[in-house]
Amino acid sequence: MEVSIGTQIKELRQRAGLTQVQLAQAAGITQASVARYESDQKVPTGLRLAALARALKVPMETLVGAQIQPEIVEPGSRIHGNSREAKVQELFRQLDEETQRVVLKQIKAMVTATKHVDHTKRPTKAA
């Protein structure tokens, strides 16, 4: 069973003996953000994930789960053209293996999170 990023952040924070406020201060983010991450309401961006890992004194890979393996793209299966998929693939290939794992885990978490969002509601503009 795969553990969510939020569960992993909470577990590591508690093991370190930190409150959400202390972790937030150490990572340079708000306590509300830490709470949303831990409850899986939001997924931290790559930069925030890095800041949390530094604050918790663990490698980023620990937060996203070491069991994630990058998918291998076979030669010849490259997406052609100037599409977003082709651009993502080109940029992804420039990353080192550990960063690829982090990116894949984050994308999977984002896909899962968007499945639970009601896209029929339109955002309201603040006055």
Which domains can be identified in the chain, with CATH numbers? 5-115 (1.10.260.40)
pLDDT in tens, 51-97: 999 999 988 888 876 433 444 445 555 555 667 777 777 777 777 77
Average pLDDT over residues 94-109: 81
DSSP codes of every residue in 80-107: PSS-HHHHHHHHHHTS-HHHHHHHHHHH
